[in-house]
């Protein structure tokens, strides 16, 4: 794979310069990646618009392309895995999980391409319309822009490209500057699978200037973005009346009730807390535990967290690899130290080694601390006891975010009450906030964004419904 190229109109071309991508554990340079110029971006968008005007492949052809791509990712899973480990620092287990999920995302997008349909409109049910029939068609938007984050360098890219291509759109992809290599591999796979010229472009550059460039391109009909709330709000201001799919920040909570099956819950909570070094928008940051079990639960959770090995992501026994950068690990370390200075207790955690921050569990936290009030995006969990379930729900709802919450309970009344009262996009009963199946709808409320991921649901947002009527 040639990483120091851009993909424009189906051809790999040189950029204006290259920038390095480093191994997040060793710090060594692993590749150089092409940076796009303003003129090249205009060309990429113009070629995409021209390709769309010529017409997208048929729905069945889109199905075939995406199924071939899914098969190719599966066949090259070791290459994808190793690339993810190098550029993101994720463990082998986390990287393999991401590859397996991306295969499913592409395959589901392929299947949904065949099912794209409108509906019959019962016009004859209106007065004096007995000789009319009506139906709707779902048609692609045109050219869409996809902007993806470092913390899911393959599957989130698949969640943008798969539905967009399945719907018949042309796509310009701008992946995270820290993790562009996996996206390049996926684009190579999609081109090899038969995506027509102009329907997929890959561009790289610093977000500080590319954000403005992308918003200036009037041909974009929609922006698909996963990233920070701050950047999402900027996109919203600049996009005007164009469509947006925004999957933004979160302070994710999971609630553990006294009647929960702790043997089943603990492994899930550990995984959701520390997978990908806690750098997932639904990673558990606040763990609300009913007071009557808070002490024994905390003892068990801390003991299990202490067993998790942090370090080299290529070693099979490593559960927590490095964070995306030393600077981010230092920030999280400062927040933990600040919380400790304000009265929190560090039950387990530290010391930091470069970008590697071991699993950290805090108790005695309170509002006003950054570890409670702001998205930490690191391997840090704060345990917060509650007396009544409504107290925990109120704390979750007090957050400006609302992406997902998990609740562990064997009481159906409590489960349904939480499902109705929590102001979040997803409530997972007897699963964690981080539970996700790639075919389900995935959305947030409040500052966690708008729009829906999940191939079936995203495809509807990436098409327009057109009414057709006949008088007979």
Residue range 380-419, pLDDT digits in tens: 999 999 999 999 999 999 999 999 999 999 999 999 999 9
In whole angstroms, what is the distance from residue 150 CA to residue 156 CA? 9
What is the average pLDDT across 270-290? 98
CB-CB contact of 83 with 182 (8 Å): yes
- What CATH architecture is 6-248+448-471? 3-Layer(aba) Sandwich (3.40)
Q: How many CB atoms lie within 10 A of CB 49?
A: 18
Q: What is the pLDDT of residues 52-68, one digit of tens each?
A: 999 999 999 999 999 99
The set of catalytic residues is: 247, 281
3-class secondary-structure state, position 76? coil
Bond before 351 cis per omega within 30 degrees:
yes
Bridge partners (DSSP) listed for residue 138: 465
Give per-residue burial for 423-460: e unless 16+ CB within 10 Å, then b.
Answer: ebbbbbbbbbbbbbebbeebbbbbbbbbbbbbbbbbbb
Query: Could you tell me the pLDDT band of residue 345, with boundaries at 50, 70 and 90?
Result: very high
pLDDT (0 to 100) of residue 1: 58
pTM for this structure? 0.96
CA pair distance 426, 409, nearest whole angstrom:
16
Q: What is the pLDDT of residues 187-229, one digit of tens each?
A: 999 999 999 999 999 999 998 889 999 999 999 999 999 999 9
The mean pLDDT of 149-169, rounded to a whole number, is 98
**Nearest CA-CA partner of 434 in 228, 254, 313, 249:** 254
**Distance between CA atoms of 62 and 85, rounded to whole angstroms?**
30
Mean pLDDT of the chain: 97
CB 142 within 8 A of CB 44: no
Domain 253-438 has CATH 3.40.309.10: yes
Spell out the domain ranges in the chain: 6-248+448-471, 253-438
DSSP 445: E
Question: What is the rounded CA–CA span in Å between residue 429 and residue 407?
Answer: 5
Cα 340 to Cα 198, 253, 369: the distances in Å are: 54, 21, 10
Q: Residue 350: is its pLDDT beyond 90?
A: no
First to last CA, the chain: 57
Same fold, 6-248+448-471 and 253-438: no
Residue 83 has pLDDT above 90, yes or no: yes
Residue 233: name the closest of 467, 2, 448 by CA.
Answer: 448
Q: Are the C-beta atoms of 271 and 280 separated by less than 8 Å?
A: no
DSSP 90-137: --HHHHHHHHHHHHHHHHHHHHHHHT----EE-GGGSTT-TTEEEEEE
């Amino acid at each position: 794979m040639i990483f120091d190229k851009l993909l424009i109109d189906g051809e790999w071309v040189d950029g204006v310069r290259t920038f390095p991508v480093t191994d997040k554990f060793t710090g060594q340079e692993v590749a150089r990646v092409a940076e796009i110029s303003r003129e090249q971006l205009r060309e990429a968008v113009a070629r995409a618009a021209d390709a769309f005007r010529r017409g997208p492949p048929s729905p069945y052809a889109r199905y075939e392309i995406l199924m071939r791509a899914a098969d190719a990712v599966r066949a090259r899973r070791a290459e994808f895995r190793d690339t993810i480990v190098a550029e993101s620092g994720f463990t082998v287990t986390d990287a393999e999980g991401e590859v397996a999920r991306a295969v499913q995302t592409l395959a589901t997008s392929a299947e949904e391409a065949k099912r794209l349909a409108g509906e019959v409109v019962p016009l004859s049910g209106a007065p004096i319309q007995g000789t009319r029939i009506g139906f709707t068609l779902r048609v692609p938007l045109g050219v869409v822009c996809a902007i993806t984050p470092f913390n899911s360098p393959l599957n989130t890219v698949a969640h943008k490209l798969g539905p967009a291509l399945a719907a018949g759109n042309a796509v310009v992809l701008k992946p995270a500057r820290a993790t562009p290599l996996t996206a390049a591999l996926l684009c190579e796979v999609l081109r090899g699978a038969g995506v027509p010229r102009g329907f997929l472009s890959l561009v790289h550059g610093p977000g500080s200037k590319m954000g403005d460039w992308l918003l200036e391109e009037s041909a974009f009909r929609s922006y698909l973005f996963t990233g920070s709330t701050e950047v999402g709000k900027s996109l919203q201001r600049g996009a005007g009346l164009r469509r947006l799919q925004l999957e933004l920040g979160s302070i994710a909570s999971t609630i553990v009730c006294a009647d929960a099956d702790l043997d089943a819950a603990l492994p899930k909570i550990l995984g959701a807390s520390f997978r990908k070094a806690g750098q997932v928008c639904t990673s558990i940051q606040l763990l609300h535990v009913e007071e009557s079990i808070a002490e024994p639960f905390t003892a068990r959770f801390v003991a299990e967290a202490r067993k998790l090995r942090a370090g080299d992501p290529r070693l099979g026994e490593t559960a927590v690899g490095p964070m995306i950068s030393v600077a981010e690990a230092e920030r999280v370390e400062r927040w933990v130290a600040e919380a400790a200075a304000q009265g929190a207790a560090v039950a387990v955690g530290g010391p930091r080694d470069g970008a590697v921050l071991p699993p950290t569990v805090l108790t005695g936290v309170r509002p006003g601390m950054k570890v409670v009030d702001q998205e930490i995006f690191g391997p840090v969990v704060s345990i917060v006891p509650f007396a009544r379930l409504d107290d925990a729900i109120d704390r979750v709802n007090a957050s400006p975010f609302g992406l997902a919450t998990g609740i562990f309970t064997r009481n159906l009344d409590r489960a349904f009450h939480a499902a109705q009262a929590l102001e979040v996009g997803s409530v997972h009963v007897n699963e964690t906030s981080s539970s996700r199946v790639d075919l389900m709808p995935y959305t947030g409320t409040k500052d966690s964004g708008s729009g829906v991921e999940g191939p079936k649901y995203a495809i509807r947002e990436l098409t327009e419904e057109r009414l057709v009527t006949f008088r007979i």
